Amino acid sequence: MAAPMAEGCRVSLNLARSFRTARPRLATLASDVFCVRTGPSRLQSTGPSEPSGFKPPPKPVMVDRRRAPEEQRRFLSPEFIPPRGRTNPLKFQLERKDMLERRKVLHIPEFYVGSILRVTTADPYASGKTSQFLGICIQRSGKGLGATFTLRNTIEGQGVELCFELYNPRIHEIQVVKLEKRLDDSLLYLRDALPEFSTFDVNMKPVPHESSQEVPVNKLQVKMKPKPWSKRWERPYFNIKGIRFDLALTEEQMKEAQKWSQPWLEFDMMREYDTSKIEAALWEEIEASKKS
């Protein structure tokens, strides 16, 4: 009985000694395994060792795919449309041919009454043989090669107006400084308005405008000088919307002006000039001239 017990004690002592001797080897093996597991992950990181500041993601661009792609807005200059009434079609056809040839040499931009333009013309008496004038377009008139536009500006307290022929060969450049419309188709009443409403800096820089956007409408209403005026702008015949009549006229004068109203003309369909078919034919003629 004592012999088996002594043999068991010897076995247990031998196991304890072998475990003590193998313990350092197990520790080194465990450290090697830990380095193998963690080493590659550290080598794969290529970012900065120090934390960087927060960088927000780029703003998303919202695109409405339901809309058609933006096309360049077409503009037909009003002098291409022949006047209403008995006209000579051959005359206007020959003039349009010359107008299109002139436009290949001189760039005539899109502009309206109320736009601010800078026009460079040939001047044999100037030092540089050219002269410039900047002003607001107050009127566009004429058809065909006889089309004209009038610019107005106040220089040294004096109102100055220059009327240019649109297809004059002496014009070197027509620059649109600010493209916009006004409430009225004619701004001749600026002659009777305060000078501040027709004063513009001759060194004014161009205001950018995208061709795909709509032309903005300036709803400015001007203040008039005391009467007398060059015309009776308050009468309904002129249909002026850009004047503050309440600051220049009394109620009695406004009632007197309304006596000249003709409300039935608003419902006269024969006075309307439908140019849709004419414009379609003109666009075909313009496109054909570009290809030639």
pLDDT(205) > 90: yes
pLDDT band, residue 16 (cuts 50/70/90): low
pTM: 0.72
Section 111-118 average pLDDT = 96
Quick one: three-class SS letters along 35-50? HHHHHHHHHHCCCCCC
Per-position DSSP letters for 48-86, written without gaps between them? -SSPPPP-PPPPPPP--TTSPPP-PPP---GGGSPPSSS
Between the alpha carbon of residue 13 and those of residues 1, 16, 135, the distances in Å are 19, 5, 113
Q: What is the tens place of the pLDDT at every residue in 66-100?
A: 555 445 578 899 999 999 887 788 999 999 999 99
Contact present, 150 and 161 (Cβ < 8 Å): yes
How do residues 23-34 score in pLDDT, each as one tens digit? 556 555 444 444
Q: State the pLDDT at residue 189.
A: 96
Percent of residues, the chain, with pLDDT higher than 90: 61
CATH architecture under which domain 78-291 falls: Roll (2.30)
pLDDT digits (tens, 9 = 90+) for 239-287: 999 999 999 999 999 999 999 999 888 888 888 888 999 999 999 999 9
What ranges do the domains of the chain cover?
78-291
Q: What is the pLDDT of residue 33?
A: 44
